[in-house]
């Protein structure tokens, strides 16, 4: 049929290894069909996408069980992606079970998704970059979404090898200009009559109205005001055009230090306490300037810190919290644990898995982020204090901590629209430098830090620990993390709203050109068909029931989360809906006054944190209220779906939590259909057309890697560890002991 060879043989035969294990030796492959013409698999190009170079007779190596399979095809590089065009069997698989991305195919690698490229020269694996003197016989591509591709170039014409390898290296690794992003070609080339995209009720926070709406929603408008002082980015390029500041703050002070030293409102809690962020004033040596700074800050501070009614606690995230280089180092080590070239590597690392994980310290960083968020929550909730997060630019850890706090405290942020709005508010409008942090332009490796990914991983921990509390699934988070590298969406490809406006705004274009077609990542229909989109929706999520006043009383005691305050003990402090009536603010503030006298929180921070944390966890969780994660060692876990999804050895066939979820979805559909039947009989109505059954339902037995299991193994064979036992150390003497000391005693 096609140029496809199968190499048999178990992993048992292992010769002494060079630095790289080439498990497909081309000469071992049954290539009797070598001259067979390649079936033309057509290259799908997006609007504006251009083919740059290509090479034919490339062998893509796929590992299946202990066999390795090679598929012949064409390797191409466009200005958007690297793609392999071959006749892969998976194309024959029924569409039923496929969770397809409409933009990125199984064999497509967006250029921005490439993490590292390796070449294999004489069995040696080397990192490739810059100009090559010698061309490798094999190309290994590690992707940022953790896929690993092996392309064997032995049968490719030398000319083509040179062209494709240098092409790929140049277009993925060389520094790029912003204007050269594929985003621009795409936006220009797409002709669409629909002017705006469906954003799925996501608030974009690019207008004053959006901010006013958020203020209203959180009942923050009493004390905070939305301002447009930065319209046209006159004051500061790092701030959005519109934002919210404390009501008494004079607007002029915003421009005094280009937005530095200004408390910017993030969110208000129902007790009236707010979460604020501030970018620090530039470091100065001059005493005079320092004094000016101090006076300025004192003035600002007095605006918000007005005991006994308003107390502010400042949380400096630049010192004594994580540093950005720490995060980057940890993630570099961590991801390496999942970028696995072959089965041998998988089992070799398996024995020391836990210590490898620990030495990356990624999970510890997650724990520290969660803990910091809980500390902030403790101030807002238990101590009735405002919290002001301070960071150099207020656009990295500020975004992380403030959005984590909101996910935990505000159930709206656990809906899909709410979560997307949160990302828009804190990250996109908040000026997180996606372009630099993702190193999309490959201009400076130093700037690369996966802060947003860290946030998603923290949210995943919450989703994993409290599945019914979120409207979205872990699959949603996984595909969102993948979307960071797809340059057709504007969402994650700018450093600030200002930068986006400058490059895509009306002024940036010629008056005569057609309007640009800009997509946001929140339009999930761009990437997924409706059926696939059902996997982003959590079947367990139940919307907050709207109760009338009478019923509310009953829920008071059950959902009571009210804290460890002596004053609130006797009196039941009801947790009504999420936001209280305005009158409660005053009471709360009065309480706050007395509390501040009782507690000196700086001394008792650890104790009060522990007590707050323990007290919350000792009660049943209210999924529509405050939600805290567990942060003990065993509870912070690896986001298995994202990190293990491409590794065939890690696949549990017919197992995993997905087996349970699919039963649940099945049962839900059954109940729904029964309900319809009853309605039909009752009212003699025709049943509504049934919804498309979800992907989960359609397949009887799914792999634990669903929906990402593309490398299906044949189900009948188990995976067996190939590496042995690690030294027992001090237990060696025990191991040598006789099994039995005593003969069958009393028998």
Nearer to another protein, 268 or 534 (CB): 534
Which 419-448 positions form the footprint of another protein (CB under 8 A)? none
614 part of the interface to another protein, by CB under 8 A: yes
Residue of 451, 412, 315 whose CA lies nearest to 373: 315
**Options 83-91, 186-194, 416-424, 628-636: segment touching another protein (CB under 8 A):** 628-636
Q: Which of residues 534-573 bind another protein (CB under 8 A)?
A: 540, 564-566, 569
Q: Which is nearer to another protein, 422 or 644 (CB)?
A: 644
Give the residue with the Cβ less far from another protein, 2 or 590: 590
Q: Does 15 bind another protein (CB under 8 A)?
A: no
Are 65 and 12 in contact by the 8 Å Cβ rule? The answer is no
Give the C-alpha distances (Å, rounded to integers) separating 355 from 352, 664, 723: 6, 36, 17
Of 332, 659, 697, 699, the residue at the interface with another protein (CB under 8 A) is 659
* List 216, 553, 619, 692, residue binding another protein (CB under 8 A): 619
Least distance between another protein and beta carbon 743 (Å): 9
The CB density around residue 43, as the number of other CB atoms within 10 Å, is 15
Of 340 and 451, which has the nearer Cβ to another protein?
Answer: 340
Distances (CA, A) of 622 to 411, 542, 572: 10, 12, 17
- Selected binder of another protein within 618, 683, 686, 714 (CB under 8 A): 618
Shortest approach of another protein to residue 687 CB, angstroms? 10
Query: Which residues, 6 or more positions from 385, have their beta carbon under 8 angstroms from its beta carbon?
Result: 273, 311, 312, 313, 379, 592, 596, 601
Contact region for another protein (CB under 8 A) — 163-171, 420-428, 480-488, 668-676?
668-676
Q: By three-state DSSP, how is residue 494 classified?
A: coil
Q: Please confirm whether the linkage preceding 707 is cis (ω < 30° from 0).
A: yes
Residues 6 or more apart whose CB falls under 8 angstroms from that of 353 comprise none
Alpha-carbon dihedral 396, 400, 403, 404, rounded to 10 degrees: -170
Which stretch in 15-23, 60-68, 89-97, 615-623 sits in contact with another protein by CB under 8 A? 615-623
Between 79 and 378, whose beta carbon lies closer to another protein? 378
Q: How far is CA 452 from CA 321, 437, 459, in A?
A: 17, 9, 11
Compute the least distance from the CB of residue 278 to another protein, in Å. 31
> Binding of another protein at residue 603 (CB under 8 A)?
no
Q: Which residues contact 504 (CB under 8 A, 6 or more apart)?
A: 187, 490, 516, 518
Binding mask 293-332 for another protein (x = CB under 8 A): ----------------------------------------
Cα dihedral 180→183→184→185 (10° resolution)? 90
Minimum gap (Å) between residue 623 Cβ and another protein = 8
Instruction: Please say whether the beta carbons of 485 and 173 come within 8 A.
Output: no
Min CB(535)–another protein separation in Å: 16
CB 321 within 8 A of CB 130: no
Instruction: Figure out which of the listed residues 132, 678, 688, 692 binds another protein, where binding follows CB under 8 A.
Output: 678
Q: What minimum distance in Å lies between the beta carbon of 318 and another protein?
A: 23
Q: Does 681 sit near another protein (CB under 8 A)?
A: yes
**Sole binder of another protein in the list 173, 502, 657, 711 (CB under 8 A):** 657
Give every CB contact of residue 164 below 8 A, 6+ residues apart in sequence: 53, 54, 55, 58, 75, 76, 77, 153, 156
Q: How far is the CB of 168 from another protein (least distance, A)?
A: 31
In whole angstroms, the minimum distance from the beta carbon of 666 to another protein comes to: 9
Cβ atoms of 281 and 318 closer than 8 Å = no
Q: Which parts of 445-474 interact with another protein (CB under 8 A)?
A: 465-468
- Nearest to 320, CA basis, from 608, 631, 629, 602: 602
Following DSSP, what letter does each residue of 238-289 receive, concatenated? SS-SSEEEETTS-THHHHHTTTTT--EEEEE-TTS-EEEEEEPPPP---HHH
Piece in contact with another protein (CB under 8 A), picked from 31-39, 239-247, 278-286, 635-643: 635-643
Query: CB of 714: closest distance to another protein in angstroms?
Result: 12
Site for another protein in 708-737 (CB under 8 A): 716-721, 724-726, 728, 731, 734-737
> Hey, which residues between 73 and 102 contact another protein (CB under 8 A)?
none
What does the alpha-carbon distance between residue 455 and residue 69 come to, in Å, rounded to a whole number?
38
Tell me how many residues contact another protein (CB under 8 A). Answer: 87
Residue 661 binds another protein (CB under 8 A): yes
Question: Assign residue 431 a region: left if phi > 0, alpha if psi is -120 to 50, beta otherwise?
Answer: left
| Least distance between another protein and beta carbon 342 (Å) | 15
Q: Which residues contact 64 (CB under 8 A, 6 or more apart)?
A: 648, 711, 713, 714
Q: Quick check: 644 binds another protein (CB under 8 A)?
A: yes
* Among 615, 698, 699, 712, contact with another protein (rule: CB under 8 A): 615
User: Per residue in 199-237, is it b (16+ CB within 10 Å) or e — as a string?
Assistant: beebbbbbebebbeebbebbbbbebbbbbebbeebebbb
Contact string (CB under 8 A) for another protein, positions 347-366, x = contact: x--xxxxxx-xx----xx--
Instruction: State in angstroms the smallest separation of the CB of 224 from another protein.
Output: 32
**177 vs 744 by CB, closer to another protein:** 744
Q: How far is the CB of 306 from another protein (least distance, A)?
A: 27
Whether residue 11 contacts residue 66, with contact meaning beta carbons closer than 8 Å, is answered with yes
């Amino acid at each position: 049929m096609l140029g496809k060879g199968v190499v048999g043989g178990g992993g048992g035969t292992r010769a002494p290894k060079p630095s790289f294990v080439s498990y497909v030796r081309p000469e071992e492959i049954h290539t009797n069909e070598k001259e067979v013409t390649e079936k033309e698999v057509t290259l799908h190009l997006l609007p504006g996408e251009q083919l740059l170079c290509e090479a034919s007779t490339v062998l893509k190596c796929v590992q299946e069980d202990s066999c390795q399979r090679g598929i012949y095809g064409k390797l191409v590089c466009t200005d958007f992606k690297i793609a392999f065009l071959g006749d892969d069997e998976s194309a024959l698989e029924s569409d039923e079970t496929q969770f397809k991305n409409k933009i990125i195919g199984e064999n497509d690698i967006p250029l921005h998704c490439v993490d590292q490229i390796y070449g294999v020269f004489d069995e040696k694996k080397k990192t490739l970059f810059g100009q090559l003197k010698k061309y490798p016989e094999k190309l290994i591509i590690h992707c940022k979404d953790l896929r690993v591709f092996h392309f064997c170039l032995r049968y490719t014409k030398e000319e083509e090898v040179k062209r494709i390898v240098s092409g790929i290296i140049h277009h993925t690794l060389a520094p790029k200009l912003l204007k050269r992003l594929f985003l621009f070609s795409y936006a220009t080339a797409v002709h669409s009559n629909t002017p705006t995209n469906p954003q799925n009720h996501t608030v974009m926070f690019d207008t004053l109205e959006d901010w006013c709406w958020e203020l209203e929603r959180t009942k923050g408008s009493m004390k905070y005001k939305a301002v447009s002082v930065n319209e046209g980015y006159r004051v500061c390029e790092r701030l959005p055009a519109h934002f919210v500041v404390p009501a008494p703050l004079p607007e002029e002070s915003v421009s005094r230090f280009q937005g530095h030293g200004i408390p910017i409102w993030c969110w208000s809690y129902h007790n009236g306490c707010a979460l604020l962020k501030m970018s620090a004033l530039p470091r100065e040596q001059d005493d005079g300037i320092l004094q000016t700074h101090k006076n300025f800050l004192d003035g600002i501070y007095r605006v918000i810190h007005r005991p006994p009614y308003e107390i502010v606690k400042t949380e400096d995230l630049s010192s004594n919290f994580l540093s950005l280089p720490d995060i980057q180092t940890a993630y570099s080590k961590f991801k390496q644990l999942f970028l696995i070239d072959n089965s041998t590597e998988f089992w070799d690392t398996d024995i020391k898995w836990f210590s490898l994980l620990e030495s990356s310290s990624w999970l510890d960083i997650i724990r520290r982020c969660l803990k910091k968020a809980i500390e902030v929550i403790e101030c807002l909730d238990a101590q009735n204090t405002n919290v002001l997060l301070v960071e150099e630019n207020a656009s990295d850890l500020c975004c992380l901590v403030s959005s984590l706090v909101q996910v935990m405290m505000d159930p709206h942020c656990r809906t899909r629209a709410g979560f997307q709005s949160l990302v828009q508010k804190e990250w996109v409008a908040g000026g997180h430098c996606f372009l630099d942090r993702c190193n999309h332009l490959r201009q400076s490796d130093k700037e690369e830090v996966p802060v947003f990914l860290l946030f998603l991983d923290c949210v995943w921990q919450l989703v994993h620990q409290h599945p019914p509390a979120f409207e979205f699934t872990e699959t949603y988070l996984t595909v969102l993390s993948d979307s960071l590298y797809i340059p057709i969406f504007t969402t994650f490809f700018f450093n600030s709203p200002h930068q986006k406006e400058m490059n895509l705004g009306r002024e940036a274009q010629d008056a005569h050109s057609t309007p640009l077609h800009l997509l946001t990542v929140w339009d999930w229909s761009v990437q997924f068909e409706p059926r696939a989109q059902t996997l982003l929706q959590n079947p367990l999520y139940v919307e907050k029931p709207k109760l009338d006043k009478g019923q509310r009383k009953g829920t008071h005691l059950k959902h009571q989360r009210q804290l460890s305050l002596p004053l609130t003990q006797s009196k039941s402090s009801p947790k009504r809906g999420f936001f209280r009536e305005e009158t409660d603010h005053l009471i709360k503030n009065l309480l706050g006054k007395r509390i501040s006298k009782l507690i000196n929180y700086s001394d008792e921070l650890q104790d009060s944190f522990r007590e707050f944390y323990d007290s919350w966890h000792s009660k049943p969780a209210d999924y529509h209220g405050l939600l805290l994660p567990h942060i003990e060692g065993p509870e912070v876990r690896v986001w298995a779906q994202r990190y293990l999804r491409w590794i065939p050895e890690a696949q549990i066939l017919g197992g995993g939590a997905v087996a349970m979820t699919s039963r649940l979805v099945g049962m839900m559909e059954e109940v729904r259909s029964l309900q319809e039947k009853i309605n039909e009989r009752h009212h003699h109505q025709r049943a509504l057309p049934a919804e498309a059954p979800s992907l989960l339902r359609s397949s009887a037995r799914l792999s634990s890697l669903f929906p990402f299991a593309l490398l299906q193994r044949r189900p009948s064979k188990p995976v067996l560890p190939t590496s042995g036992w690690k030294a027992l150390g001090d237990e060696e003497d025990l191991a040598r002991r006789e099994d039995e000391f005593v003969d069958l005693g009393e028998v």
